[in-house]
């Protein structure tokens, strides 16, 4: 079973155009393996490819540890971390896929961007995030 990588690329490229403050987009599977990564044009990344892979694995693992609290506090819309140089966001697409992204540190309107642009965009294409038969 495989995922449609052309779709992942197109999906990521469209998301990159939503807001100039989006630096990096990664789509990870439920094991934390990055399936697609896209960078904003002319961006000098802070982290290496290997560091991004480690980050993805840890972000998915952290999300999955929060599942046990959903029955009491509801589903997690997204997880957000603000650092000095960037902000990181983890958004569950479904139980098998996760959208990871980084934003410029000075992006103040992140909740509006995530809740009113990115999550509706994910929901529009959610059915595409399934494994296809080979």
> At a CB cut-off of 8 Å and minimum separation 6, what does 90 contact?
59, 60, 62, 63, 78, 79, 98, 99, 100
Q: What is the pLDDT of residue 67?
A: 81
Q: What is the pLDDT of residue 66?
A: 83
Residue 70: which pLDDT band, with cuts at 50, 70 and 90? Answer: confident
Taking the complete model, does pTM exceed 0.85, yes or no?
yes
Whether the per-residue pLDDT at 129 is higher than 50: the answer is yes
Q: How many domains does the chain have?
A: 1
Is 95 among the domain residues? yes
Whether the per-residue pLDDT at 111 is higher than 60: the answer is yes
Q: What's the CATH code of the domain at 104? A: 3.30.450.30
Look up the domain containing 117 and give its range: 5-128
Is 59 among the domain residues? yes
Is 86 among the domain residues? yes
Q: How far is CA 131 from the centre of its chain?
A: 18
Is 134 among the domain residues? no
Q: What is the pLDDT of residue 3?
A: 76
């Amino acid at each position: 079973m495989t995922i449609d990588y052309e779709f992942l690329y197109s999906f990521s490229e469209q998301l990159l155009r939503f807001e100039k403050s989006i630096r990096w987009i990664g789509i990870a599977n439920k094991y934390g393996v990055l399936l697609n990564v896209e960078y904003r044009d002319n961006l000098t990344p802070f982290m290496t490819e290997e560091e991004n892979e480690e980050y993805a694995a840890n972000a998915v693992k952290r999300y999955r540890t929060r599942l046990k609290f959903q029955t009491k506090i509801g589903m997690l819309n997204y997880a957000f971390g603000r650092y000095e140089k960037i902000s990181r966001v983890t958004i569950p697409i479904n139980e098998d896929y996760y959208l990871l992204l980084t934003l410029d540190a000075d992006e103040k309107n992140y909740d509006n961007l995530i809740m009113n642009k990115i999550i509706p965009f994910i929901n529009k294409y959610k059915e595409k995030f399934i494994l296809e038969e080979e």
